């Protein structure tokens, strides 16, 4: 029985498989934690202990990673995590305004979750999408450049499409693709991160 | 000079990430040529002769890096560093979105050159949709076409390629921290000596760690020859092109592939379209925030690995964040300092403590509580974090924006300390409460 803190048999099997994919078993630890968070939405201690047990390391090894990396959540987060980029380019582009609008609309600041459990607001350091400043990572999706209208549209979309992006936090298996797997997700062209403002060949080149 | 993009040629081509499109545009021909016509050592020589320098920032000659891998070592690894996290750099991100196969082809050729049987692409955790998904799909396609796996193209060469995705940590872009991350440890950099990756790398075995852009250049060098490459850019020491990321307060932000040695002016005012209307150029980070700033007096400097050190900065990862006359420099540097305070891994005391101190001091300067002694203190701290006092260069990086901004914009710090406010109206107070938090 799942209590929402433990891994399903399917995820356990996937992590088990990962331990045989890499040259050294322990390399499955980070991808294993990603899988655990993909399933549960955050990393409860129970799940980390399970990952450690499957990989065959001390649970401390899992806590050491979970406390280091930015994308691991050690507390429950909202269904949608709105991560506003606070890098210098986004700061110059108005990331402060974006956080202000979010506070007005959702009543929460960075690190907080709405009472209905729908939204968590957080900040990121540079997301490597500075040409789309100010940008944000909403679960796994890059959005930007954000202005007030686009932010409202985004919030409306998130509220009205319950499965906009089901995965909370870290998506992806990050697994060794050395064993071809027919279940690779097809990239959705609608979510291309490439900004339409990229110049056509020749344009902008003097 | 007419200029043909080399590595960004597929950016913007519909479905460029699909193997059929890539092949139809000449993809994987270099791989066939490399494996069928060359011995591994010849490829190392070829890349050495081309003069290709590592695009990750340090500019170490790529061929020389490969030649450091001991001959005849039984277990060797190739690792591609796709952990692009330098503030202001987003060129790998776009390249990976559009053209994952060119990187895969470069990785296979590089692996063959150093006789690796297993390769990794380490991609930062935030790059999943669609970047990571496309890379996974591309790797699967490459396996299906026989470019990866056993007996590649019937040459008897075997290679397995893993996509390894991180989980958000700037320090993983440092090559030894990246290797720790793959090994499942807390990604803290390793001391060198003895842990030079070509000698003691991944799992303690000789390892070549190369940047995305470096490897993406390799197929073109194989196809066109070293001689061709040495004529591009700013030869003899800076051949080739570089993808420059322009962002911040500039008309046309974006990635632009340009010859190495292009002037800063041409980059900002030609490619980037210049400043926003009515604004004037003030400062730019030439290689991401981890490089000392350049100002209007440097507009004619050439952007390459040797010209920039001559004016006290570095090419880094060519993330140019442009600041104009509306920007208050101390406030901007405060934002940069937050990044280093957050990303310091905590292994070395000077960096762990120094980044927090710098952040706290810049907080009080930008909040009307600056003190007379703050500027000498900032310089002293930066000095104590830099210059090989730490295991990796993050300590140096954190000091660069501080020392360079005090060098060029001392009067703005003085103004802040004396009058308790910005010399320019850089940010309204209602915004400030969200962006500036008490450290």
State which fold the A9-66 domain adopts. Answer: Arc Repressor Mutant, subunit A (1.10.10)
- In CATH, what class is A80-160? alpha beta
- Name the residue of chain A whose CA is nearest to B164's CA: A174
A190 at B interface, C-beta within 8 A: no
Residues of chain B with Cβ-Cβ distance to A109 below 8 Å are 434
The CA distance from A3 to the nearest CA of chain B, in Å, is 25
Q: Please answer whether residues A37 and A167 qualify as being in contact, where contact means their C-beta atoms are separated by less than 8 angstroms.
A: no
pLDDT tens, residue by residue, A65-117: 999 999 999 999 999 999 999 999 999 999 999 999 999 999 999 999 999 99
Q: Which of A140, A64, A78 is nearest to B345 (CA)?
A: A64
pLDDT at A202: 39
Mutate to test the interface with A, among B77, B252, B433, B434 (most CBs of A within 10 A): B434
B93 at A interface, C-beta within 8 A: yes
Q: Which residue has the tokens 């406030």?
A: B331
Long-range Cβ contact pairs of A184-191 (< 8 A, separation 24 or more): A184/B133, A184/B136, A184/B137, A184/B140, A185/B133, A185/B137, A186/B133, A186/B137, A187/B17, A187/B129, A187/B130, A187/B133, A187/B134, A187/B137, A188/B129, A188/B130, A191/A141, A191/A142, A191/B129, A191/B130
Q: Please answer whether residues B417 and B372 qualify as being in contact, where contact means their C-beta atoms are separated by less than 8 angstroms.
A: yes
pLDDT at A120: 96
How far is Cα B295 from Cα B290, in angstroms, rounded to an integer? Answer: 15
Percentage of chain A lying above the pLDDT 70 cut: 77
Residues of chain A with Cβ-Cβ distance to B265 below 8 Å are none
- Name the residue of chain B whose CA is nearest to A28's CA: B184
B158 at A interface, C-beta within 8 A: no
- Name the residue of chain B whose CA is nearest to A145's CA: B253
pLDDT at B436: 44
How far is Cα B343 from Cα B169, in angstroms, rounded to an integer? Answer: 7
pLDDT tens-digit profile, chain B (439 residues): 457 899 999 999 999 999 999 999 999 999 999 999 999 999 999 999 999 999 998 899 999 999 999 999 999 999 999 999 999 999 999 999 999 999 999 999 999 999 999 999 999 999 998 999 999 999 999 999 999 999 999 999 999 999 999 999 999 999 999 999 999 999 999 999 999 999 999 999 999 999 999 999 999 999 999 999 999 999 999 999 999 999 999 999 999 999 999 999 999 999 999 999 999 999 999 999 999 999 999 999 999 999 999 999 999 999 999 999 999 999 999 999 999 999 999 999 999 999 999 999 999 999 889 999 999 999 999 999 999 899 999 999 999 999 999 999 999 999 999 998 888 866 554 455 444 444 4
CATH 1.10.10.1590 domain locations along chain A: 9-66
- In CATH, what class is B19-230? alpha beta
pLDDT at B2: 53
The CA distance from A59 to the nearest CA of chain B, in Å, is 12
Burial status of residue B270 (CB atoms within 10 A of its CB: 0-12, 13-18, 19 or more): middle
Q: Do A205 and B430 touch (CB under 8 A)?
A: no
Characterise B375 by phi-psi region: left (phi > 0), alpha (psi -120 to 50), beta (else): alpha
A118 at B interface, C-beta within 8 A: no
Percentage of chain A lying above the pLDDT 90 cut: 73
pLDDT at A175: 33
How far is Cα B287 from Cα B401, in angstroms, rounded to an integer? Answer: 11
pLDDT at A193: 34
pLDDT at B433: 47
CATH 3.40.30.10 domain locations along chain A: 80-160
B74 at A interface, C-beta within 8 A: no
Q: Determine the CATH number of domain B241-324.
A: 3.10.20.600
Residues of chain A with Cβ-Cβ distance to B398 below 8 Å are none
Q: Do A92 and B86 touch (CB under 8 A)?
A: no
State which fold the B329-435 domain adopts. Answer: de novo design (two linked rop proteins) (1.20.1440)
- What size, in residues, is chain A? 206
Q: Which of B8, B174, B6, B145 is nearest to B79 (CA)?
A: B174
Of chain B residues 21-50, which have a CB less than 8 A from chain A?
none
Domain positions in chain B are 19-230, 241-324, 329-435
B432 at A interface, C-beta within 8 A: yes
More confident residue, B429 or A173: B429
Q: How far is CA B258 from CA B56, B220, B400, in A?
A: 16, 16, 25
How far is Cα B37 from Cα B43, in angstroms, rounded to an integer? Answer: 10
pLDDT at B3: 72
Q: Do B126 and A137 touch (CB under 8 A)?
A: yes
How far is Cα A2 from Cα B115, in angstroms, rounded to an integer? Answer: 47
Q: Which of A42, A91, A95, A49 is nearest to A71 (CA)?
A: A42
A168 at B interface, C-beta within 8 A: no
Sorted by sequence, the CB contacts under 8 Å of residue B269 that are 6+ apart come out as none
B92 at A interface, C-beta within 8 A: yes
The CA distance from B41 to the nearest CA of chain A, in Å, is 25
Of chain B residues 233-262, which have a CB less than 8 A from chain A?
245-249, 252-256, 258
Q: Do B90 and A129 touch (CB under 8 A)?
A: yes
Q: Please answer whether residues B84 and B212 qualify as being in contact, where contact means their C-beta atoms are separated by less than 8 angstroms.
A: yes
DSSP B156-186: TEEEEEEEEE--S-GGGGSHHHHHHHHTTS-
Alpha-helical runs (H) found in B153-290:
175-182, 212-224, 226-230, 264-265
pLDDT at B432: 52
How far is Cα A30 from Cα B94, in angstroms, rounded to an integer? Answer: 25
How far is Cα B171 from Cα B339, in angstroms, rounded to an integer? Answer: 11
Sorted by sequence, the CB contacts under 8 Å of residue B304 that are 6+ apart come out as B233, B234, B237, B238, B260, B261, B315
Instruction: Give, as one character, the DSSP assignment of residue B270.
Output: I
pLDDT at A173: 35
Q: How far is CA A112 from CA A82, A106, B266, in A?
A: 11, 10, 44
């Amino acid at each position: 029985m799942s209590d929402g803190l433990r891994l399903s048999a399917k995820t356990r099997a996937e992590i088990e498989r990962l331990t045989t994919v890499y040259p050294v078993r322990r390399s499955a630890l980070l991808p294993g934690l990603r899988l655990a968070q993909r399933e549960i939405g955050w990393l409860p201690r129970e799940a980390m202990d399970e990952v450690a047990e499957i990989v065959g390391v001390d649970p401390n090894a899992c806590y050491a990673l979970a406390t280091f990396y930015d994308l691991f959540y050690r507390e429950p987060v909202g269904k949608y995590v709105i991560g506003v980029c606070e890098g210098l380019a986004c700061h110059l582009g108005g990331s402060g305004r974006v956080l202000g609008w979010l506070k007005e609309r959702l009543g929460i600041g960075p690190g907080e979750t709405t009472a209905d459990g729908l939204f968590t607001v957080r900040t990121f350091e540079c997301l490597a999408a500075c040409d789309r400043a100010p940008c944000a990572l909403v679960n796994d999706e890059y959005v930007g450049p954000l202005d007030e209208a686009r932010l409202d549209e985004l919030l409306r979309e998130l509220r009205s499409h319950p499965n906009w992006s089901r995965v909370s936090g870290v998506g992806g298996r990050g697994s060794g693709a050395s064993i071809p797997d027919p279940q690779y997700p097809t990239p959705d062209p609608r979510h291309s991160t490439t900004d339409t403002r990229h110049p056509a060949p020749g344009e902008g080149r003097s | 000079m007419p200029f043909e993009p080399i590595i960004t040629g597929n950016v913007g081509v519909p479905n460029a990430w699909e193997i059929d499109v890539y092949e139809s545009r000449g993809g994987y021909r270099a791989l066939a040529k490399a494996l069928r016509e060359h011995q591994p050592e010849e490829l190392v020589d070829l890349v050495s002769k081309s003069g290709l320098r590592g695009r990750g920032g340090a500019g170490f000659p790529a061929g020389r890096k490969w030649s450091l891998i001991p001959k005849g070592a039984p277990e060797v690894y190739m690792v591609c560093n796709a952990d692009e996290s330098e503030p202001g750099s987003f060129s790998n991100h776009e390249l990976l979105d559009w053209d994952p196969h060119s990187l895969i082809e470069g990785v296979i050729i590089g692996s063959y050159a150093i006789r690796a049987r297993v390769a990794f692409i380490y991609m930062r955790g935030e790059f999943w949709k669609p970047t990571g998904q496309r890379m996974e799909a591309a790797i699967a396609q490459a396996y299906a076409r026989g470019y990866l796996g056993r007996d590649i193209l019937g040459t008897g060469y075997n290679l397995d390629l893993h996509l390894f995705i991180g989980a958000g940590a700037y320090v993983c872009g440092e090559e030894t921290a990246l290797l720790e991350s793959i090994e499942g440890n807390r990604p803290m950099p390793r001391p060198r000596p003895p842990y030079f990756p070509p000698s003691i790398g991944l799992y303690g075995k000789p390892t070549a760690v190369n940047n995305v852009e470096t490897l993406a250049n390799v197929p073109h060098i194989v196809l066109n020859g070293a001689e061709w490459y040495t004529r591009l850019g700013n030869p003899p020491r800076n051949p080739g092109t570089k993808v420059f990321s322009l962002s911040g307060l500039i008309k046309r932000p974006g990635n632009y592939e340009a010859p190495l040695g292009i002037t800063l002016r041409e980059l900002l005012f030609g490619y980037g379209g210049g400043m926003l209307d009515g604004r004037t150029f003030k400062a730019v980070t030439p290689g991401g925030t981890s490089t000392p700033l350049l100002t209007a007096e440097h507009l004619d400097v050439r952007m390459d690995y040797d010209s920039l050190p001559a004016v006290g900065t570095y090419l880094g990862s060519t993330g140019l964040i442009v600041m104009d006359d509306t920007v208050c420099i101390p406030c901007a540097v405060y934002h940069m300092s937050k990044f280093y305070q957050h990303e310091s891994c905590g292994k070395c005391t000077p960096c762990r403590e120094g980044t927090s101190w710098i952040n706290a001091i810049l907080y009080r300067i930008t909040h009307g509580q600056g003190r007379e002694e703050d500027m000498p203190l900032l310089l002293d701290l930066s000095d104590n974090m830099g210059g090989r006092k730490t295991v990796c260069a993050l300590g140096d990086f954190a000091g660069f924006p501080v020392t360079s901004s005090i060098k060029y914009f001392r009067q703005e710090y003085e103004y802040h300390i004396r009058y308790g406010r910005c010399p320019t109206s850089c940010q309204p107070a209602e915004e400030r409460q969200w962006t500036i938090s008490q450290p």
